[in-house]
Chains A and B, each alone.
Chain A
């Protein structure tokens, strides 16, 4: 059980993100919950590709005679981080426009469609 500690850390990240998404009412805190879930999934992708006592997959002046970590999950994580940037920028911009239109950021009071 103590060897699987990275997977338990990923589950704690995602659990905290889902808690913030379900139980908080401020729109900025909901945006923070989305970002927490996204970063937990990125961490999970990187920990899938580890080999015991291996070095980074780069040949420039590497110490000789050692195995290398798998490079494909790192490539997928790069794409996922950039998509996280796009999601965060758009959710924060929509929150700013809601504040201009309604005057408050409480999700219990932004329910009716105003003119």
Chain B
């Protein structure tokens, strides 16, 4: 009985997703690209790096990279704390 309700709910939700995927905008034509055009134009003169993705990750949006490094550090702290009582 529970399986039938789960199955119907899953089919309804999946059909919503399929209909919205077919009606998305065309693949390959972004709508708003003014910020990225500015990054591609001025990344070499302002940061001095050839790789535009690296200069976005570490220079224009460096604060997000700080948050991500903290998340990785916290995951290691969590794993070490879980297995603290393991002897040889």
Contact = CB atoms under 8 A, between A and B. Distances in A.
Do A and B come into direct contact in the complex, CB within 8 Å? Answer: yes
Interface of A: 1, 3-8, 10-11, 14-15, 18-19, 22-23, 47-52, 57-60, 68, 70-72, 74-76, 78-79, 82-83, 85-87, 89-90, 93-94, 97
Interface in B72-88: 72, 74-75, 78-79, 82-83
Interface in B23-75: 24, 26-30, 33, 35-36, 39-40, 44, 50-53, 56-57, 61, 64-65, 67-68, 71-72, 74-75
Interface residue SS majority, chain A:
helix
Nearest to B78: A90
B12 interface: no
A74 to B, nearest CB: 5
Contacts, number: 112
B33 A57 contact: no
A97 B82 contact: yes
B18 interface: yes
Given A50-B27, A52-B28, A93-B82, A74 B21 contact: no
Contacts of B61: 75
Contacts of A97: 82
